[in-house]
């Protein structure tokens, strides 16, 4: 029994450090407070948020609804030359470490304007984890029906939550 507990503790230590190293290498380490959207889309101060890293892999998922209570919603315009980087931790494993994360899927695959109300893809705000300063959200969504690269961010005075997702062919 004692040996089993030691093995569990060891594996937890290895898993945590592997995640930390990967986060650092991928440029999503919270301490750096990386910006996922360039300043021409939204003010640089927007990148304050919560620490969430996960991937949805579902060909039928045409829209993602993500996050947070009591925040306004905004969309960055779709563009092929946005100053962004594709990155992510693959799998929903670490969602288990974050309480009250709310994730829903909605219909629709197009949202190219800055007006969230005009498009079919939007963020629905639910009671969830509270934002903390200097931490980015990395959201990578796979969908074979679309190949466009877009960015989504949730904003309260440009200083709440940010998320990036990329649609792959």
Helix residue ranges per DSSP H, the chain:
2-26
Going from N- to C-terminal start, the domains of the chain cover 2-166
Three state DSSP letters for 71-89:
CEEEECCCCCCCCCCCCCC
HSE value, Cβ hemisphere, 13 Å, CA-based, for 106? 15
Q: State pLDDT tens for residues 107-159.
A: 222 333 333 333 223 333 233 333 333 233 333 332 223 332 233 333 322 22
Q: State pLDDT tens for residues 69-121.
A: 222 223 333 322 222 222 222 222 222 222 222 332 222 223 333 333 332 23
65 close to 124: Cβ distance less than 8 angstroms: yes
> Between vectors from CA 153 to CA 140 and to CA 21, what angle results, nearest 5°?
45
């Amino acid at each position: 029994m004692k040996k089993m507990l030691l093995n569990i503790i060891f594996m937890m230590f290895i898993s945590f450090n592997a995640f930390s190293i990967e986060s650092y290498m991928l440029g999503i380490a919270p301490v750096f407070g990386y910006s996922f959207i360039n300043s021409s889309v939204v003010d640089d101060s927007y990148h304050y948020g919560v620490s969430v890293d996960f991937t949805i892999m579902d060909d039928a998922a045409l829209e993602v609804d993500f996050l947070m209570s009591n925040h306004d919603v905004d969309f960055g315009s779709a563009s092929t030359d946005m100053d962004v980087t594709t990155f992510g931790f693959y799998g929903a494993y670490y969602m288990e470490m974050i309480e009250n994360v709310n994730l829903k899927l909605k219909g629709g695959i197009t949202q190219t304007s800055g007006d969230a109300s005009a498009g079919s893809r939007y963020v629905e705000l639910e009671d969830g984890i509270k934002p903390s300063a200097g931490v980015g959200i990395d959201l990578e969504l796979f969908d074979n029906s679309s190949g466009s690269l877009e960015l989504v961010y949730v904003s309260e005075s440009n200083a709440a939550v940010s998320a990036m997702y990329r649609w792959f062919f």
